[in-house]
Amino acid sequence: MMSRSTAAKDEFVVLEIGPQKQRYHLHKALLTHHSEYFNNALNGPWKESEDKIVTLEDVDTIAVDIFVHWLYTQQIPDNDATLQMSESSPDPKDDDDPMTAYTKALVFGDRFLVPVFRQAIHNCIVDTLLYDEDRCPREPTCFTATKYAYENLPSDHSILKIFLDFHCRHWDVTGNGADDVESAITELIERDLPPTLLIRMIARYSARATEAIEIGWDADLRGCDYHEHSDDQERKNCERSLQKAGQAT
């Protein structure tokens, strides 16, 4: 891992993000150390390398806010900090602003080849969904984040499974304050959710209704089953840490 003192001696580069071209001044050495994409863009025979400016108009600033926080601290911002970041451009239709922000950051990490960051934000999404301060699952729903994930990640991406399993396990159609099932269905239709997600949810519920129930349908989801691990030892350490946390509560 690159030290901050090394980065401090290096030149700055500029990321221009979003339609408004929000500018981020970052240490080149730190950015290129963690990202193959930016390493190629800023060290190759490209215009960006000469100008020290990379413009990404189709990227959301909240994703870069989270990435920059991680870049300089090696920590993903917590739920409260992420919520504050999201307040700069609130979406009244978003049902879980921090989760949507985390998901946009994951897409950023995937797209711009930042492997350590993308693993950290991936595991953060899993832990944020499944474990609040009382070690209980987050309150559903997070359909805005789920829709964004299904529309911007490969169909076999592992994070899609946790979103699907989370909603099938914990979501109640009238749990978000709808007066009745019909009004809840109307609200759901207006969300224009991805067909793939809906088909998979229908298949899960159909299996349950016909008693072709998967083993463990009502069991708690285990974070370690969805985390990304570098190797078997890291998985074992993760399992032990989750077991200890469970015992503590």
| 172 within some domain | yes
Q: In the prediction, which pLDDT does 213 show?
A: 56
pLDDT in tens, 40-77: 999 988 888 889 999 999 999 999 999 999 999 999 99
pLDDT in tens, 172-185: 887 666 677 888 88
Count of the separate structural domains present in the chain: 1
| 27 within some domain | no
| 131 within some domain | yes
The 3 state secondary structure assigned to 168-223 is HHHCCCCCCCCCCHHHHHHHHHHCCCCHHHHHHHHHHHHHHHCCCCCCCCCCCCCH
What value does the mean pLDDT of the chain take? 87
Check: CB of residue 138 under 8 Å from CB of residue 129. Answer: yes
- Sign of torsion, CA 181 184 190 195? negative
pLDDT in tens, 185-196: 888 888 899 999
pLDDT in tens, 74-114: 999 999 999 999 887 778 889 999 999 999 999 999 999 99
Name all contacts of 87-91 with Cβ < 8 Å and 24+ positions apart: 88/61, 88/62, 89/61, 89/62, 91/144
pLDDT in tens, 223-243: 888 998 888 898 888 888 877
Q: 134 — phi, psi (to 5°)?
A: -100, 15
Containing domain of residue 65, as a range?
A: 59-248
| 166 within some domain | yes
pLDDT in tens, 137-167: 898 889 999 999 999 999 999 999 999 999 9
